Amino acid sequence: MDVDTNQPLGTPTWIDLGVPDLDRAMEFYGAVFGWAFDVGPAEYGRYTSCLLRGRRVAALSAMYEPGAGCFWNVYLATPDCDRTAERARAAGGVLLAEPMDVMDQGRMAIVRDPVGAQFGLWQGRAHTGAQVVNEPGALVRNDLVTPDPGPAREFYAAVFDFTLDGNPDMPQADFTFLRRPDGHEVGGIMGAPGSTSSWSTTFEVAGTDEAVRRALDTGGSSDGPKDFLYGRLATITDPFGAQFSIITRPER
């Protein structure tokens, strides 16, 4: 689906990935998802928009700090970045980057939540976020995976006014749906003992097995596809160590 407006508070609205080799990253992600790329000027760190149908779905960036590790960053929408950042601080979060303007594109901050997971806040202006979601080649889901889900649930409910619902389809899992006040599901929190707290990123694909093959052929790694309650799922590690998931959802 196409998106051309700013999303309500707490909705995952943008993702980006910093890499040590931008050309290699474009080769890999272009092969896996069929993305085209709009490479920005060198003075902006070659911040590169990933395009599907000519519309923004994500970004790759050469602004990478050696030793920091590679991971997909998720940005949650806010109509007031400064106010939401203060709510995050009051709820026990740490501001890794205070609210700042990104030219005329928007206003952002980076937060570490009380269980150690990092995420961004995005107040869109000229750049409202991903213009395509929930279709093959685009973002379909973000979930927080953590060994300590209790404090995470309290934090995100306090900051974003989320309601918290269990998942009756997966009674064996410690999984909580995050819903906006209007009832729309925006993600979830998965309790996973032994994990490292982080936000996961899942892209939709037309065929999980074929997408895994393309990833392997271009230098990625994967344990392979498996059938899951909500579709055929695989976790992929890109050539730089960044993990993401892909899913083919059942026909609706």
When divided into structural domains, the chain yields a total of 2
What pLDDT, in 10s, does the model give residues 15-47? 999 999 999 999 999 999 999 999 876 555 688
Residue 133 belongs to some domain of the structure: no
Q: Are residues 161 and 187 in the same domain?
A: yes
Helix, strand, coil shares of the chain, percent, nearest 5, are 20, 40, 40
Which of 89, 124, 159 is where one domain is finished?
A: 124
Say how many C-beta atoms besides its own lie within 10 A of residue 97's C-beta.
Answer: 12
- Residue 134 tokens read as 């929930």
The reply to whether 67 and 40 lie within a common domain is yes
Mark whether 219 and 187 lie in a shared domain: yes
> Are 182 and 117 found together in one domain?
no
**Residue 233 Cα distances to 208, 227, 242, angstroms:** 7, 6, 17
Same domain, 96 and 166: no
* Residue 100 placed within a domain: yes
Predicted local distance difference test score (pLDDT) of residue 172: 86
In terms of residue numbers, what domain contains 96? 12-124
**Which H helix or E strand runs over 82?**
helix 81-90
Place of tokens 């994500």: 58
Give domain status of residue 95, yes or no. yes
pLDDT at 178: 98
Picking from 99, 124, 149, the residue at the C-terminal end of a domain is 124
Q: Are residues 181 and 244 in the same domain?
A: yes
Residue 5 inside a domain? The answer is no
Rounded Cα gap, residues 212 and 101, in angstroms:
38
Q: Residue 63 has what pLDDT?
A: 76
- Give 22-81 as a 3 state SS string: HHHHHHHHHHHHCCEEEECCHHHCCCEEEEECCEEEEEEECCCCCCCCCCEEEEEECCCH
Q: Could you tell me which residues are beta bridge partners of residue 165?
A: 177
Mean pLDDT, contiguous 10-residue spans, the chain (252 residues): 96 96 96 93 74 97 79 98 98 98 96 98 97 98 98 98 92 93 96 97 98 98 94 97 96 70
Residues 164 and 221 placed together within one structural domain of the fold: yes
Local structure of 11: helix, strand or coil: coil
Q: Where are the alpha helices (DSSP H) in 138-221?
A: 149-160, 208-217
Same domain, 117 and 153: no
Amino acid residing at 35: W
pLDDT of residue 187: 96
Q: Are residues 210 and 166 in the same domain?
A: yes
User: What pLDDT does residue 24 have?
Assistant: 96
Same domain, 102 and 198: no
pLDDT at 165: 94
What is the signed CA dihedral for 241, 50, 96, 191, rounded to 10 degrees?
A: -60
Which residues, including other chains, have CB under 8 Å from residue 88's CB and lie 6 or more apart? 95, 111, 113, 121, 155, 159
Contact yes or no for 140/37 (Cβ under 8 A): no
Q: What is the pLDDT of residue 41?
A: 64
- Say if 35 falls within a structural domain: yes
- Residue 152 belongs to a domain: yes
